[in-house]
Amino acid sequence: MSTNAERLHSGTRTLSTRLVMAGAFVGALGILTLSMVFSWPVASGKQSPADVAAENLAAAFEAPAGSCLNWRPDGSDMKTVGCDQPHLFEVSGDVDIAAEYPESAPSPTNEAWREIAKQKCTTGAATYLGGKLDPYGKYSVGALKPSDEQWRDGDRKLRCGLQRAVPSGNTLVATTGSAKNQDQSDIYDPGTCLALVNKNVGDPVGCEAEHAYEITGVVDLAQIFKDSVPEEAQQQAAMLEQCTKLTNEYSGGLDLQSKGLSLTWDTRKAESWDAGSHRAVCKVGAPLSDNSGLAPINGSVKDAGKSSAPSSGSSAPTPSSTGGG
C-alpha cells in the first residue's frame, strides 16, 4: 500500500457565552495533503530519510484505536507518539466504505469526504469516549482518508479520530493526554489573546497584536456545583464572583471600565456538563456601543493596574480608535 495519507476534519460548534459575538467555532473543513518532505539524517545509515518517514507514515495510518499521531506544520513526518506527548490526532477507530464505493467507483470529492467522515466517524468517536463527546467542546471528529493512489489500489479504509482546532478551523492545536481522560471544555490558558475577525473572535495571537479577548482566568465550576448541572443563572452568579476576583489578580487591579474594557465569561450547557466539561474562562473584551460585536484591543491587561496614571506609551490596554463602529 502507498504510504501517502490525507487528513480531513468535520464539525461546526458554538460556545455558550455571556457576551454576544463571543467566539463561534467555525469548522473550516480543509484537506491537508502530506507533502512527504524529508530533510533529517538517519542514524543507522542503512535507510534514507524518505524510507524512514514513509515507514513512520505507514505505521501511523495503520495505528490502532487509542494511538496518538503527530506531524510537522507542513504536514510531513506523520508518526505515532505517546499520548502523554503533544499530538494532533488521537485514533478512535476505523471504518471501511468498500460496500458503498466498490473498486470501480471514483474517489469522492472533498465535500463528499467530509460528509462521509461526519457520518462514519462521529458515532464511533463518541463511543470511544464512553458515549460522552461534548458537542460544544474542544474536540472535533476528524479522519485520515486514503490518498488518490491508495484509492486506485482499492484502499477504502477511513481512520477516524479526535483533534482540536483553532476557532477558524484552519490549524490544529496540539493536546497532551488521551482525550478519554480530558475535561473537554473548549478553553485557553490565562494570558492567551484571541484575534479579532470581523468584530468576532479569531485564533490565538500575541497580546501585543490587536485582539478581541484576553483570557484572564479559568474557573472549574464542578468545584462549586458538586451535585447537579447548575442552572444558567447559577453559573452567571458564580462566574461573576470568580472572574471578578481572578481578573483583578491577573491585571494587578486594573480599572477595566476606565480603559473602555468589560469583563465577561463563558458558561456551560447541560450537554457539555453531562459530557464532563465543567471549566469556563474569564475574559476581557471591548463590546461596541451598538452591540454589533467587539472592538480591537491593543496590549495586555496583565499587571497593567500596577502602573499609576499610565502615559500614552504605557502597556495598559485600550480599545483601538478604529474599532468603534
Query: End of a domain among 161, 181, 201?
Result: 181
pTM over 0.85: no
Q: Is residue 83 part of a domain?
A: yes
Determine the Cα–Cα distance for residues 278 and 91; give it in Å rounded to an integer. Answer: 24
Q: Please answer whether residues 214 and 243 qualify as being in contact, where contact means their C-beta atoms are separated by less than 8 angstroms.
A: no
3-state secondary structure of 203: strand
Terminal Cα distance for the chain, rounded: 56
Say if residue 177 is in the same domain as residue 198.
no
User: Residue 50's pLDDT band (boundaries 50, 70, 90)?
Assistant: low
33 alpha-carbon distance from chain centroid: 20
Looking at the structure, tell me whether residues 96 and 223 fall in a common domain. no
Question: Do 136 and 252 have their domain in common?
Answer: no
The amino acid present at 102, given as its one-letter code, is P
What letter represents residue 122's amino acid? Answer: T
- Structural domain includes residue 186: no
Do 164 and 257 have their domain in common? no
Tell me the pLDDT tens digit for each residue of 252-298: 999 999 999 999 999 999 999 999 999 999 999 999 989 899 999 99
Q: DSSP states of 117-154 as a string?
A: HHHHHHHHHHHHTTT---TTSS-EEEEEEE-HHHHHTT
pLDDT of the residue at 53: 62
pLDDT in tens, 13-45: 433 322 221 122 122 222 222 222 222 222 334
177 & 280 share domain: no
Contact present, 149 and 4 (Cβ < 8 Å): yes
Say whether both 198 and 139 belong to one domain.
Answer: no
C-alpha span between 39 and 37 (Å, rounded): 7
What range defines the domain where residue 38 resides?
5-42+49-181
C-alpha angle with apex 29: 27 to 35, nearest 5 degrees? 130
Number of domains in the chain: 2
Of the chain, the percentage scoring pLDDT greater than 90 comes to 56
- pLDDT-derived band at 78 (thresholds 50, 70, 90) equals confident
pLDDT value of residue 25: 19
Cα 193 from Cα 23, distance rounded (Å): 12
Query: Quick check: is 133 in a domain?
Result: yes
Task: Name the pLDDT band for 315 (thresholds 50, 70, 90).
Answer: low
> Does 59 fall in a domain?
yes
Domain's final residue, options 181, 210, 240:
181
User: Does 125 lie in the same domain as 67?
Assistant: yes
Q: Report the pLDDT value the prediction gives residue 121, as an integer from 0 to 100.
A: 92
Residue-wise pLDDT for 174-221, tens only, equals: 999 999 988 999 999 999 999 999 988 999 999 999 999 999 999 999
Query: Does residue 158 sit in helix, strand or coil?
Result: strand
User: Is residue 188, in this structure, part of any structural domain at all?
Assistant: no
* 281 and 215 Cβ atoms separated by less than 8 Å: yes
Residues 155 and 206 in one domain: no
Residue 167 lies in a domain: yes
Residues 157 and 7: their CA atoms lie apart, in Å, by: 13
